[in-house]
Amino acid sequence: MADEISVLIVDDSALMRNLIGRMVEETPGLMIADKAMNGIFALQKIPRVNPDIICLDLEMPEMNGIEFLKERKKHGIEIPVVILSSIAAKGAEITMEALSLGASDFVQKPSGSISGDIHTVRDTLIPMLLGYGGQYRKLHGKKLLSPQEAAARQQPLSTPAADTHKTTELLATILGTAPPVTPAKVPVQIRKPADTQIIAIGISTGGPDALRVVFSKLDADLKVPIVVVQHMPAGFTGEFAKSLDRVCPLDVKEAEEGDPIIPGRILVAQGNKHLEVERRGAAVAAHLSDAPQVSGHRPSADVLFASVALVYQNHALGVIMTGMGRDGAQQLGTIFKEGGMTLGQDEASAVVYGMPRVAYELGHVQEQVSLNKMANRICAIAKTHR
């Protein structure tokens, strides 16, 4: 089973190691590389088991998650890390420190450091392990199981058939072998594109890393406001915005009700709040909403894109990036139909080529761009006079 994505599970609780291990074993395309009770043992095991992805707790004795990440960096270990940890009083700040030290993403344990209901985060954790682990294998020239091979290796009684089907679909998305959602048909634009007055970004799994790359490369003289939906739990987006602000030449902040949409500033949607833009007299401001989930999310990129298309019409640039599912794909088309410009992250650089793939196959993406070139392309479009 050498073609499966191997996971090193690092947690000081034997119960947690077993419960997480069970989720891994029941997932087509994943296997357990090994388990470790703290960072010291993890560092010792990495050269021997050579995992594709590390699932890491933060609160552990002797060497905690933050200390492990520092050692990982010192030793030049490139294996991606997904944080799976409980939330303490400073949880958000510690989690953002972990991301700044090279962790790729994070999942919040639902009920403390020992969570008997850890299975409730399966639908969030498994796509991350498959996505980051699969990308690591591809970058290092390792073979990946096809969805058909993964399904064939699935133990028939261990997981409900519906879950097995869902996971093999996910694996197909990550491998880029999923069938087309619908034949591509480019919508008819109502008007021609005009000067860019706003940039809207929708992003999910793989987003923390991707946004850090893009925002660090933006031009300091970019005079167009940016609004962002990153799927992230409530309580984290404030610290996340601060972490992005430290690497970005523009100002980055968590969106608050009534924040003016002004040039040179980036607003990041709050966790569990929809973000919209709305015209208020001569100005445009941010509006936060507790309305029901859209496309399975709150905040939803579809909600943001729809409001941007309504207010800015052909003066908008919509960008859809790495993420599982289809949030943002439909309403990116509304931006395009109104005469706006649209970009999608390409398959090769996306951790999960889900959201951008659906948008592309709907005909809603004018141009696919790699992650490393995304900032330059955004700035070039925003600065072009039309």
Contacts 24+ apart (CB under 8 A), 379-383: 379/218, 379/219, 379/222, 381/196, 381/317, 381/341, 381/343, 382/196, 382/199, 382/222, 382/224, 382/317, 383/219, 383/222
Is 204 part of the annotated catalytic residue set?
yes
Task: Respond yes or no: is residue 349 known to be catalytic.
Answer: no
Helix, strand or coil, per DSSP, at residue 116 = coil
Marked catalytic residue, from 34, 57, 105, 327: 327
Extract long-range pairs of 84-88: CB within 8 Å, 24+ residues apart: 84/11, 84/20, 84/55, 84/56, 84/57, 84/109, 84/121, 84/125, 85/56, 85/57, 85/58, 85/59, 85/109, 85/113, 86/59, 86/111, 86/112, 86/113, 86/115, 87/235, 88/59
Catalytic residue among 6, 85, 115, 204: 204
DSSP string, 289-335: E-PPPBTTBSS-HHHHHHHHHHHHGGGEEEEE-SBSS-TTHHHHHHH
Choose, from 104, 231, 307, 349, the residue flagged as catalytic: 231
Q: What is the DSSP letter of 178?
A: P
Identify whether 231 is a catalytic site residue: yes
Q: Are 164 and 151 in contact (CB under 8 A)?
A: yes
Nearest-angstrom CA–CA distance, 359 and 295: 13
The residues annotated as belonging to the active site are 204, 231, 327
